[in-house]
Homo-oligomer: A and B are copies of this chain.
Amino acid sequence: MSAAGDPVLGAVEAGGTKFVCVTGRADGTILARERFDTRDPAATIADMCAFFARAVDTGVRLSAIGIAAFGPLELRTDHPAFGHISVTPKPGWSHTDLVGPLSRFGVPVGVDTDVNGAALGEGLWGAARGLGQFVYLTVGTGIGGGVVVAGRTVRGLVHPEIGHVSVPRQDGDSFAGTCPFHGDCFEGMASGPAIAARWGRPAQDLTGDELARAVELEGAYLAAGIRNVVYSLAPQRIIIGGGVRNLPGLFPAIRRNLAQQLNGYPGLVEQSGEDFVVPAGCGDDAGALGALALAAQASRT
């Protein structure tokens, strides 16, 4: 237990299906947690604010709040829509202001994409501890990537969208891809729904030979996306989260295919080692810990 009155961080994992609000400490300890479904913006944001209001009412002294959100997000601090979700297919959520409603608490608010937050969390408490430059990929209902360079998340115009890089079609695969924008991009070929659509059922229902072929193909597509990330960003490590990472034999398949696709260029032994492409270390708390990492960063600035 903490001493009464010590400053506490607030954090929100703002996902498309659930919001998780927590209070915690800069060492990654979670003190309190509440989870609720994502409904319309007004009701959902009211629940989020009520969580922190109750904490303050019971004497918690908040020093910063972090919010790691689904996107696309406007992250340019000089943009009038800073901290808003931009145009999203999620009904009702386009142009929703996530940061403004938190201003009532009078503390710095750190906002970033869910995957940039998760990347920061992996750097502090997970599989990227001690590294300055790495990429976090989540492979589940979609594919998203968070990027850390020199210890900070990459933001520019506006944030990486790694799920939409191109991947060369693998020999013999005629699957059209599921991305509404690009068809056969990384997400379109290798997300959970892409696996389910290609094989006629979800990955966890595959068995035997079919499972083996699905895992090999998934390893090849993940390696193809990772290759583009490696050549663009020179990361020290690739950390993979999301449900698809639990496919048996997936990591050896990724490593084998990646070595084949890099084909010895530029010939770094590190890129073929077992600690180059690794599973996420923050487990089920990855989202909340990512938001907590954003809060910790905001409290220092």
Contact = CB atoms under 8 A, between A and B. Distances in A.
Interface string A144-187: 01010110101111111111111110000000000001100000
Contacts of A230: 161
Interface of A: 71-72, 86-87, 132-134, 145, 147, 149-150, 152, 154-168, 181-182, 224, 227-236, 261-268, 270-271
A43 to B, nearest CB: 26
B87 A271 contact: no
A87 B231 contact: no
Nearest to A234: B156
A265 B182 contact: yes
B86 A236 contact: no
Which residue, of A86, A228, A262, A263, has the highest number of chain B Cβ atoms within 10 A?
A: A228
Nearest to A72: B266
Contacts of A224: 166
A233 B231 CA distance: 11
B265 A164 contact: yes
Which residue, of A150, A159, A164, A231, has the highest number of chain B Cβ atoms within 10 A?
A: A231
Contact of A166 (B133, B157, B227): B227
Given A166-B227, A181-B265, A231-B164, A157 B270 contact: yes
B265 A161 contact: yes
Contacts of A164: 231, 265
A204 to B, nearest CB: 28
17 contacts: A72-B267, A133-B157, A149-B156, A156-B235, A157-B235, A157-B236, A157-B271, A158-B234, A165-B227, A165-B228, A166-B167, A166-B168, A166-B224, A168-B168, A182-B261, A232-B233, A233-B233
